[in-house]
Amino acid sequence: MAALENAVVLVTGGGRGLGRAHCLELAAQGAAVVVNDPGVGRDGDGGGAGPAADVVAEIKAAGGNAVPHTGSVTSWTDAADMVRTAVSTFGTLTGVVNNAGILRDEMITSATEQAWDAVIAVHLKGTFAVTRHACDFWRAQAKAGRQIDAHIVNTVSGAGLWGNIGQSAYSAAKAGIAGLTAVTALEMRRYGVAVNAISPLALTRMSAQFFSDRGSDPALDPACASPVVAWLQSAESSWLTGQILRIDGGKLSRVDGYTEAPHHYPAADGARLQYGEIGQAVSWLWGTAPRGLAGPLPVR
């Protein structure tokens, strides 16, 4: 029995790059796949049914089962229709891979409202819209007494975790997806839904400019991330939720969220920090001392 034999997974942005690799791996593991891709360019312009249809053809040629969907994740009604398509075609939906994305890189001083809105709409709103409709389906199923073992895999990025020059909108969107992953995991655990994210390093049309010196590096093959995605869609992973996994070629790492450093600087009066001691406090927290002091201050 294949690992995902009874799974039905919706993959957004499934026509190219990472999404295509995920679709092929999911199908190879036995899942039926809804391949969503409106066929737009790297910047979100244009469109066409070709990419989604091509991946569906690949899956079927290999003996798998798949159906195309060309709606946009930025459309509330299209997102709802993706879920309906899975259920009407395959009888259910067991998982979502939120992978759709575009790039419109601009420095913060030249960033435009239009570019910002477009990037946020695809990455952040799109992830939310598809997630919301899928979760609504699973919640209704759970309330009807059905046993749910569902999985969401979101896509974040090093740019969202640590920032990147020229990518204010993309980084903000990916950071937002990390937060959305944590919240959805907390809210949906009671209904049997595990929610995690991946942060993959991969050479795609979106990332080509950043890896121009590593174009032939097999570690950047988008398919390197796909077995992790498939595992996160399996019952074996259901215990794990609210987490981010970093994938760099053959290396898998755990990404921890924001944590409070172990040391703290107490107020002089023990109750409230005064303006005059903030500089001293911050310098101590970062391991340096304000000018005029011999060294880091001791903890009171």
| Residues annotated catalytic, as ranges | 170
Integer Cα distance of 107 and 96 in angstroms: 32
Instruction: Tally Cβ neighbours within 10 Å of residue 66.
Output: 26
Go through the chain and tell me how many residues it has: 300
Integer Cα distance of 154 and 23 in angstroms: 14
The closest alpha carbon to 71, from 80, 59, 62, belongs to 80
The closest alpha carbon to 188, from 240, 127, 139, 244, belongs to 139
Residue 155: beta bridge partners? 198
How many contiguous H segments (helices) and E segments (strands) does the chain have?
Answer: 9, 8
| Angle formed by the axes of helices 50-61 and 17-28, nearest 10° | 30
The closest alpha carbon to 202, from 10, 11, 22, belongs to 22
CA distances, 30 to each of 84, 85, 278 (Å)? 21, 19, 58
Amino acid at 36: N
What tokens does 128 get? 């939310």
Integer Cα distance of 213 and 194 in angstroms: 37
Amino acid at 177: I
Amino acid at 134: A
Q: Which residue has the tokens 């009807």?
A: 144
